[in-house]
Amino acid sequence: MSEVRILGTGAYVPQRVVSNDEAGAAAGVDDAWITAKTAIRQRRWAAPGEATSDLAAAAGRAALRSAGITAGQLSVIAVATSTPDRPQPPTAAYVQHHLGASGTAAFDVNAVCSGTVFALSAVGGVLTHRGGHALIIGADVYSRILNPADRKTVVLFGDGAGAMVVGPAGRGPLVRHVALHTFGELSGLIQVPAGGSRLPVDRAGLDAGLQYFAMDGREVRRFVVERLPQLVKGFLHEAGVGPEEIGHFIPHQANGVMLDSVVEDLALPRATMHRTLTHYGNTGAASIPITLDAAARAGAFRPGELLLLAGFGGGMAASFALVEW
């Protein structure tokens, strides 16, 4: 991709704090069980009147303030989400309207939890032709598609949005390299079975719970443990960077216990792994930009340090970005 710099970041999470005991009640699990399995202690769930576009717009406003630009200076808005407001129009159209950026190109990206880095790659090409600035937002409201009785999924997810403003020039962290992967043969591991053209929602489907998020947790873990280290190794080789040069690792916040088990195999000897899942859970496409924003606002990064962003999830997909702060 052509030169793209991160000019500002932002995030938003709903006000409602949901404890482990509350999240796991219908599934018959408690705080001790959830913490031991996931390292998640609480999460945020959207209020009844909040949709994905509302969270996305709030995060977008925060990123615009951080970048010091207005919505009128945007040439493109890309929203990474797998929980859109509606099947159509794109959630990005609602976000554009909320921000007052009429006429700006706006589109959605659905690569599930890898989506924000996919969107980052996509807007690089748009900026080459249109110039200006891009607003990239990862936003998901998973609480609306969770089966409250499924302990494998209901305890993992929170709602939230994270955003970044990027531009082709000026000062700011440089996106040095991006890589995207999809393994469609594993697409059945994470899915919402009903609601699309393959299986529209009907009464029988609702009775069977096919409108809910479903995941084969064991096989997803196998994918992450077996494939992520090799994909990271290949990505760093492509980027011409040694693993010892990575100062910060910002992964998708899938499951804290799983991240702890895989980070040693990644062999990033000097990298600090950043986590927000303890308080926010797995926020889908929002998890990387939320975590990036939290670390940036805490002053965790020094000029010249290298950050590795790593997304993985449904598709199955994996995405990586190397950022020089």
List, by residue number, the catalytic residues.
113, 252, 282
Amino acid, res. 238: E
DSSP alpha helix (H) spans, the chain: 20-24, 31-38, 52-67, 91-99, 115-130, 203-207, 217-239, 256-266, 277-280, 287-297
Helices 256-266 and 217-239 sit at what angle, rounded to 10 degrees? Answer: 40
Q: Give the integer Cα–Cα distance in Å for 114 and 119.
A: 9
Q: Are 303 and 325 in contact, with CB atoms under 8 Å apart?
A: yes
Give dist(CA 91, CA 56) in Å, integer. 9
The helix-helix angle for 115-130 and 287-297 (nearest 10°) equals: 80
Alpha-carbon span 37 to 146, nearest angstrom? 18
Query: Is residue 241 within 8 Å of 274, Cβ to Cβ?
Result: no
Asked if the peptide bond before residue 316 counts as cis, ω within 30 degrees of 0, the response is yes
- On whether the CB atoms of residues 291 and 113 are closer than 8 A, the answer is no
Q: Distance of CA 5 to CAs 35, 175, 181, 211, 228, Å?
A: 37, 6, 22, 39, 26
Using alpha carbons, select from 308, 230, 317 the residue that is nearest to residue 272.
Answer: 308
The residue written with tokens 């100062």 in the block is 247
